[in-house]
Structure 1
Amino acid sequence: MKSLSFSSVLLFIISSSIYAQGRFDDVEIKTTQLTDHTYMLEGAGGNIGVSVGDDGVFVIDDQFAPLSEKILRAIKELSDQPLKFLVNTHYHGDHSGGNENMAKAGATIIAHDNVKKRLEAKQRDGSYKPKEALPVITFNDKLNISINNESIAIFHVSNAHTDGDAILYFTESNVLHTGDTYFNGRYPYIDLNSGGSVNGYIEAAKRGLMVIDENTKIIPGHGKLSNQQEYKKFLKMLEELRDNIQKAIDDGKTEDEVKSDETLTKTYDDLGYGSGFINSERIRLTFYKSLKGNKS
């Protein structure tokens, strides 16, 4: 399938995902140049990272399958080189839904061991992912890839957003892609049922901050392009919410009491952190359950 022409790949994508196109018809892919050869792509779902050069195209995440045609067209505008590698920062569909299409376009898929396990397991609807949608290369702790005249460090952060999160750092471009271990300006989704945890999420943010400086350009999993200062504010928010809710737990507050206590998150509610996918009530509930060890 890797020998298919670009036009043939687009035709396959259109025919295989026509049932879902309506939902994504109005989505536009926005491209932001970060350095001479790295870019951030925004559409619907997780933010995408792209590196282009003589070695080929390196991509981080691929959003939903019906958007693959638009994403591939956006990439084609950046480079005529072949699509070489695709890294999934974790297994959620808004970051890995286009895997099959990207593989058919030529990409070798890379992800953490746990991402492959979750993608190859029976899905919620009882189906199984096709072989093409699964990672070909997996890693446990860390991985380095040299492409387009720089080394890209890929490292696993344990039990953060999920149990298979990867953060990627472009060592020459000074660009960091955090996957969903960072939601810029909003409360994060911590998937407790997929191995995520509050304390692991906080440690992931600390790990990301260790490798960057004030000039680093940060591609968050969701939200606008970011920087070190905003990333530090995000970590501070996480730690304050953890301390507030842990104190409430220590004081004997019940789940319902924490869930309804707006004072626990008011500082960041007022800054608009609860205006995204995760609202104020849900973040309090998530923190409570994680700190209590209850994943249900």
Structure 2
Amino acid sequence: MKKIDSLYFLVFFLLGFLNVTAQQNEVVITVDNLSNDIYMLTGQGGNIGIYVGGEKVYMIDDQFERLSPKIKTAISSITSKPIAFLFNTHMHGDHTGGNINFNNKETILIAHDNVRSSLSTKLAEKPELGVEILPEITFSEDITLYDADETIIAFHVHNAHTDGDAMIYFTKNNVLHMGDTYFSGRYPYIDLKSGGSVDGYISAHKKALLLINDDTKIIPGHGRPSSQKELASYTTMLEIIKTNVLKAIKEGKTLEEVQSDKQITSAYDATHGGGFINPEKIRATFYNSLKAGTQD
């Protein structure tokens, strides 16, 4: 009987290993040229931003650790210049997993204070990850870097997707990387357990809209490159869903009732409900976040 159990375990282990290997091999890193100097890399996880400066490269996010060799190959097809700075837009693993492979002697890792705090907790639980996962430079509100005639501004948006979100704006190239404060073409994932909130998420969008113009190229955390017009429409969608959910809360509806009420998001389900966050999940997220706010 023990031999049979061992055989089953071996079979399941091999199937799992082959499945993970197949998924890894299937990931293709694609490159979009957004401006003279800026590129967006798409693979598995958060979209990566690459700015090729006069002598060095500025990188935003790095997806999963296992994809680092493919990402490095994609970057080498763009430029041979060294990566001097790497920004993390927040702490989730599909944006920071590659830190261990990109954070080295020639690359300085930058993020919001709360990102370092979250990754420090993760490191304490898994010391084998190594200190390379931690940012060497952090900021509370904003930080500005200069590269020849390009000005790079990283600024914090409070309690949006998480408690440590940052957007990075390249003023000359007019490109804004929004991280997971924007999911282009799909409902957003607002991580309430990590300090995210509906009100903070909408406020982050409004802050971005004050900064950009009609010609700005937006790199979302997930999805295709976007524009000011598309971001404005997305913000309107969030505000309408918020209004609908608040109305339901005022009427005394429960979480379960809001989750099952398709009318709340019906205007957007066909266009935005096909991603990781489906219509039922987004209604639950809005309810839980806004309900907590009404009890403050």
TM-score (norm 1): 0.89
**Which position in structure 1 is the counterpart of 2:273?**
274
Match of 1:178 in 2: 178
Paired letter, 1:138: T
Unaligned runs of 5+ in 2: 1-18
**1:131 Cα deviation after fit:** 0.3
* Superposed counterparts of 1:201-240, under 5 Å: 201-240=201-240
Matching residue's letter, 2:166 = A
Residues 1:259 and 2:259 are matched in the alignment: yes
The count of residues paired between Structure 1 and Structure 2 equals 275
Larger helix proportion, structure 1 or 2?
2
SS of the equivalent of 2:26 reads coil
Q: Is residue 2:65 matched to residue 1:65?
A: yes
Whole-Å separation in 1 of the counterparts to 2:122 and 2:229: 41
Kindly tell me: are residues 21 and 97 of structure 1, through their superposed partners in 2, closer, same or farther at Cα, counting changes over 3 Å? farther
Whether 2:279 is the aligned partner of 1:283: answer no
Question: Secondary structure at 1:252's aligned position in 2?
Answer: coil
The equivalent residue for 2:142 is 142
Q: How far off is 1:104 after superposition?
A: 3.4
Question: 1:179, CA displacement in angstroms?
Answer: 0.3
Instruction: State the distance in 1 between where 2:113 and 2:284 align.
Output: 29
Please identify, of 55-64 and 19-28, the stretch whose mean Cα deviation from structure 2 is larger: 19-28
Match of 1:292 in 2: 291
The structure that has the greater radius of gyration is 2
Determine the C-alpha separation between the residues in 1 that align with 2:148 and 2:33: 16
Single out whichever of 48-57 and 136-145 deviates more from structure 2.
Answer: 48-57
Deviation string, structure 1 residues 162-213 (Cα, Å, up to 9, x no partner):
0000011100000010000000111000000000000000000001111100
1:100 aligns with 2:88: no
CA distance in 1, matches of 2:148, 2:29: 23
**Rounded Cα–Cα distance in structure 1 between residues aligned with 2:105 and 2:42:** 20
* 8 Å contact from structure 1 (residues 90, 162) kept in 2: yes
Asked whether the equivalents of residues 161 and 197 of structure 2 are also in contact (C-alpha less than 8 Å), the reply is yes
Separation (CA, whole Å) in 2 of partners of 1:127 and 1:81: 33
> What is the percent sequence identity of the aligned residues?
51
Deviation at 1:105, TM superposition (A): 7.5
| Post-superposition offset of 1:149 | 3.1
- Residues 110, 138 of structure 1: 8 Å contact kept: yes
> Does the aligned pair in 2 maintain the 1:56–1:148 contact within 8 Å?
no
Match of 1:133? Answer: 133
| Counterpart residue number, 2:52 | 52
Superposed CA offset, 1:211-265 (max 9, x none)? 1000000000100010011101110110000000000000110111001111100
Letter in 1 for 2:152: I
Q: Which amino acid aligns with 1:291?
A: L
Separation in 2, partners of 1:267, 1:150: 41
Equivalent residue number for residue 4 of structure 1:
none
Cα contact 2:123–2:130 (8 A) shared by 1:
no
Task: Please report how far the alpha carbon of residue 83 of structure 1 lies from its aligned counterpart in structure 2 after TM superposition.
Answer: 1.1
Contact 1:184 1:224 in 2 (8 A): yes
SS in 2 for 1:202: helix
Identify unmatched segments of 5+ residues in structure 1: 1-18
The 1:21–1:133 alpha-carbon spacing in structure 2 relative to 1, beyond 3 Å, is farther
Distance 1:274 1:247, change over 3 A: same
